Amino acid sequence: MGHREHHAAAPRTVAVAVLTLSDSRTPAEDRSGDAIVALLEAAGHSVAGRVLVREDPPVIRAALEAALAGPVQAIILNGGTGIAPRDSAPEIIGALLERELPGFGELFRQLSFHEIGAAAMLSRALAGVARGKLLFALPGSEAACRLALEQLILPELGHMVGELGKA
């Protein structure tokens, strides 16, 4: 089956949980989460949950465990992927991943480089599979979230979920 056939056979609607990691934002100030939700819904996907999570490793892990136990096929986190001491999303997610998708982080940083230059190297965005579900960790900036969704996640989300559903 070729690329076009894979896409044609892929699910059109994916259930996604959105987690924003932040100590400073309130739900009303979560523009990155708003952008993720708007882009997912505009593409025909369903947002099965949205949570603002304090940047504390046990709290993040608990929120991820709850999302993984829920009726979702993908989880998108934003925030906590930089190099500051409190940025722990990659380590927490990495411990849960059964398979990493290294191409996601590589492509994200390449696309980011064209937008923001050398600062793209500070991103530790990553993606992978845990318990049969897709996990994406994005930076907390709205522009970075839009870039990741528009250029990488949305064009392949249904295809990736379809691949995970194969026996």
Q: Scan for tokens 């993040």, then name that residue.
A: 60
Q: Over range 76-83, report the average pLDDT.
A: 96
pLDDT digits (tens, 9 = 90+) for 106-137: 999 999 999 999 999 999 999 999 999 999 99
pLDDT at 167 over 70: no
- Name the token pair of 82: 């930089």
List of E strands, the chain: 15-21, 46-53, 74-78, 99-100, 126-130, 133-138
Q: Hey, what domains does the chain have and what are their CATH numbers?
A: 14-164 (3.40.980.10)
Question: Which among 18, 85, 25, 96 is positioned nearest to 56, based on CA atoms?
Answer: 85
Where residue 2 falls among pLDDT bands split at 50, 70, 90? low
Sign of the torsion formed by the C-alpha atoms of 77, 83, 152 and 41: positive
Asked whether the predicted pLDDT for residue 3 surpasses 70, the reply is no
Q: What are the phi and psi torsion angles at 132 (to 5°)? A: 75, 10
At 156 the pLDDT is 96
Q: State residue 83's pLDDT score.
A: 95
Using 50, 70 and 90 to split pLDDT, how confident is the model at 7? low
